[in-house]
Amino acid sequence: MDTDDEKWFPVPGRAQRRRIARRVGKVKPQRSRMRRKARKTRTGGVK
């Protein structure tokens, strides 16, 4: 399943990989959202 999903997306980027993982059900959306928010706050983009 993983290889098939990667085939659909030609660009193996971080966002693409996360999206694929979410679709497969590997990454829980809540955890990924929390991590993204923390990273943004650390960079100083969104507080």
Instruction: Indicate the residue type of 21.
Output: A
Instruction: Indicate the residue type of 19.
Output: R
Instruction: Indicate the residue type of 11.
Output: V
Q: Which two tokens stand for residue 5?
A: 């999903």
Number of domains in the chain: 1
Q: Which two tokens stand for residue 9?
A: 């997306």
**Distance in angstroms (rounded) separating the CA atoms of residues 17 and 11:** 9
Query: Helix or strand or coil: residue 19?
Result: helix
Tens of pLDDT, residue by residue over 5-30, are: 555 555 556 666 666 666 665 655 55
pLDDT at 31: 57
pLDDT at 5: 52
Q: 9: domain range? A: 2-43
